[in-house]
Amino acid sequence: MKLALIGFGTVGQGFVEILRDKGAALRDQYGFAPQLVAVATRSRGSLLLASGLDYDALLTAIAGGHLDQYPDMPGLQRNLSTEALIQQCGAEVLLEAGTTDLQSGQPALDYCYAALDANMHLVLANKGPIALAYNELRERAQAKGKRLLFEGTVMAGTPSLRLALQALAGCTISEAHGIINGTTNYMLTQMEGGMSYSEALAQAQALGYAEADPTADVDGWDAAGKALILAAALFNQKLTFANMTVRGISQISLEDIHAARTAGERWKLIAHLTPSGASVQPMRIPLAHPLAGVSGGTNALTLSTDLLGDVTLIGAGAGRKQTGFALLADVLELHRMKQR
């Protein structure tokens, strides 16, 4: 399976590390032997090699600051525009792991449409296109007979969408709530231990949890974008930010956190959605509440169902390998589909 990757930041690099480290196991266990034929970045160059790029050389080049540092070899094309690369790469799957833009979804959305025109399946970790244009993307993918997979957009590789859409198929989900941003949950946990807001944010950035612009995390928009994705995927509802309450954690001080502790409570940034609406806001919850024990970069999502009652999933919410794995899970699903 030939893959093309757009975006070679934390998530893209995590994915390539997994391909490098697990190549033999993926081949032996699943008969899966992907080739990464193209990598495109916004400002650090692009590479196309039909016979497959070398993972170590890619990671070394990007660690050095630019894909121009990738060694010369026959057939290698450098610095094509992303549009040209999509048209020329001949890959079966486009992996979109570029920077999320929750206002326009661009340029990722146009790359997705171009990839469908080039007959590729879509796998996204980029939240923008799914949060803003899920219905159109899904319709266009269906019209082309292509899959649209986006596990990495919510709770990193923790299988929240697979749980809701596949494992719980047949149940009616009436409601979902939980902690769906890793950065803010990590910060609240660290601040409870006495760390300052700015130091906690710097650590979340260093751990690869935060968005490129971390105001999206701390002001609640990242969680709100994920709520839009869940609303579209679970409830077939096209919500917009305009009809949501969105508040983040930037107004929460160490004093607020200590006051909650003294009262036997803890602040959490809670997302809540039903078929008719969604909200993201910080809430004080009792220490005995199931979500109170979800700490650090860990996230949790409770789905309320008619047949099973509440089902709660707890796992990584962000991170390099954790989100890189989401891309792997999606391409493995495409691989299994091809084998059937």
Footprint on this chain of ligand HSE (rule: CB under 6 A): 156, 181-183, 209-211, 217, 222, 317-318
Which tokens go with 48?
A: 């196309």
- Give the three-class secondary structure for 271: strand
Kindly tell me which of 146 and 320 has the beta carbon lying closer to ligand HSE: 320
Q: Which of the residues 146, 226, 268, 321 is marked catalytic?
A: 226
Could you give the C-alpha distances from 240 to 8, 24, 102, 276, 281, in angstroms and in order? Answer: 29, 43, 11, 11, 16
Kindly tell me which of 85 and 244 has the beta carbon lying closer to ligand HSE: 244
Task: Report the residue count for the chain.
Answer: 340
Cβ 70 to ligand HSE, closest distance in Å? 27
Kindly tell me which of 151 and 211 has the beta carbon lying closer to ligand HSE: 211
Kindly tell me which of 162 and 335 has the beta carbon lying closer to ligand HSE: 162
Q: Which residue has the tokens 């266990």?
A: 29
* Contacts by residues 314-317 (CB-CB < 8 Å, ≥ 24 positions apart): 314/158, 315/155, 315/156, 315/157, 315/158, 316/155, 316/156, 316/157, 316/158, 316/182, 317/155, 317/156, 317/158, 317/179, 317/180, 317/181, 317/182, 317/185, 317/209
* Strand-strand pairing, 2-6 and 35-40: parallel
- Give the three-class secondary structure for 80: coil
Catalytic (active site) residue 2: no
Q: Which residue has the tokens 């039909």?
A: 50
- Give the three-class secondary structure for 292: helix
Kindly tell me which of 211 and 219 has the beta carbon lying closer to ligand HSE: 211
Secondary structure of 138-198 in HEC code, one letter for each residue: HHHHHHCCCCEECHHHCCCCCCHHHHHHHHCECECEEEEEEECCHHHHHHHHHHHCCCCHH
Cβ 180 to ligand HSE, closest distance in Å? 7
Kindly tell me which of 2 and 42 has the beta carbon lying closer to ligand HSE: 42
Cβ 125 to ligand HSE, closest distance in Å? 8
Cβ 95 to ligand HSE, closest distance in Å? 15
Sheet with 298-305, strands from edge to edge, namely 244-246, 277-286, 265-274, 173-179, 298-305, 309-316
**Residues with catalytic annotation?**
226
